[in-house]
Amino acid sequence: MRLHYNNGFTLIEVLIVSTIIVIATSVTTVTYLNVQKDSRDTKKLASATSLAESLERFFERNGEYPPVASVTDPNAVTVKQMLDVPTLNSLLHPNAPSGSSVNVWKTGTTSTTNQFTYTPNTDTSDSCRTLSSSTDACMDYKIQFYKEKTGTVETIYSRYKAVVATTPPPAAPITPIVSQPDMPTITATLSGSNAVGTRSNVSCTSPATAQYAFHSRSNDGAWSTYTAWNGTTASTSVPANQGGKYDFQVKARCIDGATSSSEAISSEAVYIRPVTTPAAPTVAQATTSTTTTFSASAVTCATGTTAEVQYKLATDWGYVGDWTMPRPSTDTHIINTESEGYEYSEEAQVRCKSNYATSAWSASGTTSYIRPVTTPGGAPSYTVVMSAGATDLVWTVIKPACHSSVVPGLYYNYYVGNGWTYNGASGWTGWRHVIVTNGGSVNIRIFPTGSAQFTAGGTAAVATEWYCINQTTGRKSSIGPRVQTPLYTYNP
């Protein structure tokens, strides 16, 4: 009987997969460990090469190599100063923690536990192996370090071999080695009308003392030459204009007599002087035909800065515009102001700016222009018609021309006589008013009262006065010419 399974793996399949995972994990682990070993071996080679070059420079100055006890002193800082080693890292273990000063170089046989050694090559004298007096030295040396990846020992031999003299020559004076200080810092501030760069103090190993020199530049121009070295001056200053950019740097060194360390240079400190906000401008307006030009008054800005202006328009029909893009302060803002009966209010603000700083916008200056409503002129034309059935008398009056933004308004008065009355009155019966928004004419109707509304010989007339009015703001023109129709006599 053959059994079939729909799910799961066989024991053999599980074992195969497990074996593959174990092999892959092992390969990854071995690769990672080899990479770490390679990295440490590279650091060891760099340290050994740097130490060897320092030993050769020692030989060139003194004609011999330093004794074992000097090179393997536990204090790495002492060894660095004696040999003028460029960096303390050459004397530290690759895995040394930050701030360590323990010298990694020892003497004896190089091994997995004693991985960095400095020993004589052929010189077996006590003078080389110990440090019993100031004249002790070695004729030659070898540097060895253990390579973790290959399990072998790498050796660097001395370049020269000193000659042993019958009478030792007097020891050559050793130029003191002065250590470079840590990098100084500098801050930039304003004092009065000057930009000031102020340094921090650095520490030097006694008996050396610290000296400083400054330089500066303005508005990204060329750097000035450094000041003379000085041990007491704490700051330097330059005149500072509003909107100006001022950079400062300081360098420091340690000096012992005529010997000085290499220089340590700070990063740049930057000060940008703020720009004062100008006063609010006054705004003038000049209107020609249907356009109005708004202009801001001249702006006083500090030396090295320029003035800009921005405008904003609002009207009393509810429009509120955005601020224009900033523009030179001499630029104007030209607005179409042809719509009659509206007020155009202009707001202006100014500011001062340089390539590095910009003031805030000033308070606003404002002005406004009200477009007057034009008075209609000329005498309108009339027609008069008696309606069918003689129930009313109609005068048709042609509207005057008003601007598209306004509409006509009409005052009118009736006259009836010779037996006609209007609402029980005769003669001129009183002024009435209407605002006309539709059509090109207005019909004025008279309905005389009485038992016989229209009596033969009855007379009537109409007097009119036109004006133009903005219905949104209520502003209107003055009254146009009064026009009275001829007297109309009814003769059926």
DSSP letter at 9? -
- Can you read off the two tokens belonging to residue 206? 């006694």
- The single residue listed with the structure tokens 């302060």 is 329
Mean pLDDT, residues 9-27:
82
* Residue type at position 318: G
The yes-or-no verdict on residue 379 having pLDDT over 50 is: yes
Mean pLDDT, residues 12-23:
85
pTM (whole model) above 0.85: no
The yes-or-no verdict on residue 8 having pLDDT over 90 is: no
**Taking a C-beta distance cutoff of 8 angstroms, is the pair 402, 408 a contact?**
yes
Q: Kindly state the percentage of the chain with pLDDT values over 70.
A: 92
User: Which domains can be identified in the chain, with CATH numbers?
Assistant: 38-157 (no CATH), 186-272 (2.60.40.10), 283-370 (2.60.40.10), 382-489 (2.60.40)
pLDDT of residue 2: 45
Sign of the alpha-carbon dihedral angle for 300, 304, 305, 306? positive
* CA distance linking residue 84 with residue 129, whole number of Å: 21
Lowest model confidence (mean pLDDT) among 80-84, 350-354, 380-384, 468-472? 380-384
The yes-or-no verdict on residue 154 having pLDDT over 80 is: yes
The yes-or-no verdict on residue 165 having pLDDT over 50 is: no
Percent helix, strand, coil in the chain (nearest 5)? 15, 35, 50
pLDDT of residue 166: 45
For residue range 81-97, what is the model confidence (pLDDT) as tens digits?
888 888 888 888 888 88
DSSP 3-state assignment of 449? Answer: strand
Indicate the pairing of strand 427-435 with strand 483-484.
Answer: unpaired
Q: Kindly state the percentage of the chain with pLDDT values over 90.
A: 51
The yes-or-no verdict on residue 201 having pLDDT over 80 is: yes
Mean pLDDT, residues 262-266:
95
Considering the chain, what is the average pLDDT of its residues?
A: 88
- With bands split at pLDDT 50, 70 and 90, how would you rate the model's confidence at 384? confident
The yes-or-no verdict on residue 468 having pLDDT over 70 is: yes
The yes-or-no verdict on residue 248 having pLDDT over 90 is: yes
